[in-house]
Chain A
């Protein structure tokens, strides 16, 4: 083969791989999109091609979602829970991750592993004891029960993530601040926090998406429609017995995934780049 031909073959296989991957990732979204705007007749007609509109698109499902269900309320609930959980997670995980990263000796490592292990205990096991706690606190059937429970899995995960990141920040930087007149907390706030913005952003997005997609706890603790987060509301109020409101289901899923997709694309890339360069020699 000539060099030219080889290069074309190289780029060709590269782009076909990319295209395959994009198709794989984007297909569910495409499916959600067209299902949302299809008429019911089109959806249930086995003779028509499922990949495109066979009858004209319609807004009826979206209308139904916004006027006849508590969709907006659910979205609001999810956002409220997400914001509260993220705040609680940051307040606990930042100092915990920093302490673990700077603790001398092997104890820190074992503690870190221990904390991560608690993340691996599945909610399907934990909801039993936790539901007892929730009812003791009188929080049953309230979205605040979720604000209380979700940090049980976001905190271990985010503490672990932050610990790893803080370890990668050379300790000379915060030690220099401590020698230069800061308290431990001062050094953390003035040097480690600004350097960790990418990690903190990652943690915020992770914690937020983890709470947005949680289902088991929501299902066990909440039954009133107006307290439900989006995951639960959609799945319980738009599936009635064996009747699936496909158009509404897909529309709700699509709309609630948009903010997360935007958050990922806008922030993550921009912040993950060598901010720590030049701190130490070499």
Chain B
């Protein structure tokens, strides 16, 4: 059964739709990531799930029940805000105990649960501090602990890692994922960082301009993008798109290799003129254009650093190729079509 389901959710601010007809469901125990560029409506959608914002139209179901009219406190959710929203006047202990106190939890049970949550997130040594005396990473863990003690049906997390530095973020990412796998609580996780999304999500929902573009496992999203937006939003560098009759043709930079590195027959050959090269240690990024195939953006190729590409120089023309199985076809509207439909 779906832990949370959204049906045709719309939210209008003035005359813009921040959320435009999103339907999706979160399975029991699933870690669903909402991924999209800044301002695409992720936070708004999450706030609608929480009940902090009322949708213009559509239904929210939690545990199978329609909760449109249910206030946030009765929805069985726990939320970690983009900016944590800790209570500045309370100690870490009391911050975490707050949701239990509102439920009139007996004293010793409250103590036990808060201690458990603090140990789980290794913040037990901070229990008497105030939020302003904590680092960003510690605050984030307090916010998580506060969400956790309630044993909610769903976690709603709004970019909880965006404020951490790169290194801390990597470790926090794996801690968070591990933690979710331990407690097995359905989770909706908002981010605009594709690495986070790919690494953490059981499934990813890609959102743009308030619309759901695609929902699927990280592999599905990466290997079979539903449209040009999804194709170019994921991957660094993003998928190359070149013109073709009746739409465009896409291929990932790591699949675009010198002809001699590929064997087998079904290859699409393209003459590549290299304008610039970047050496990144483990790989080499080539920028240039394909002769005879105009593209809106610079075409990139990602080669293993040790490859035969050593002889390639900026300014060279070289025969490159992509396996036909790794080509993606999009129609004029940018939607994925069956390969080879029109060539």
- Contacts from A to B (Cβ < 8 Å): 170, 172-173, 175-183, 186, 190-191, 194-195, 274-282
CB nearest neighbor in A for B86: A279
Within 8 A of A (CB), among B63-106: 71-73, 77-79, 81-89, 98-99, 102-103
Contact check, B88 vs A276: say whether CB atoms are below 8 A apart. yes
- From B81, B102, B103, give the contact of A172 (CB < 8 A): B81
Contact check, B83 vs A172: say whether CB atoms are below 8 A apart. yes
A281 / chain B contacts, CB cutoff of 8 Å: 83-84, 136, 139, 163
Contact check, B72 vs A179: say whether CB atoms are below 8 A apart. yes
Within 8 A of A (CB), among B118-151: 130-134, 136, 139, 146, 150
Other than A173-B88, A178-B71, A282-B163, give 6 A-B pairs with Cβ distance below 8 A: A170-B83, A175-B72, A180-B78, A180-B146, A186-B102, A281-B83
Given A179-B52, A179-B79, A180-B146, A278 contacting B86 (CB threshold 8 A) = yes
Nearest Cβ on chain B to A177's Cβ, whole angstroms: 7
Within 8 A of A (CB), among B41-77: 50, 52, 71-73, 77
Docked pose: A128 CA to B85 CA in angstroms: 49
Contact check, A277 vs B88: say whether CB atoms are below 8 A apart. yes
Query: Main secondary structure on chain B at its contact with chain A?
Result: mixed
Contact check, A172 vs B85: say whether CB atoms are below 8 A apart. yes
Docked pose: A173 CA to B132 CA in angstroms: 14
- From B73, B89, B132, give the contact of A183 (CB < 8 A): B73
Docked pose: A199 CA to B285 CA in angstroms: 57
CB nearest neighbor in B for A191: B87
CB nearest neighbor in A for B163: A281
B146 / chain A contacts, CB cutoff of 8 Å: 176, 180
Docked pose: A179 CA to B85 CA in angstroms: 11
Given A183-B73, A281-B136, A170 contacting B163 (CB threshold 8 A) = no
Contact check, A179 vs B83: say whether CB atoms are below 8 A apart. no
- From A175, A181, A194, A195, give the contact of B99 (CB < 8 A): A181
Contact check, A182 vs B73: say whether CB atoms are below 8 A apart. yes
Given A178-B52, A179-B50, A170 contacting B85 (CB threshold 8 A) = yes
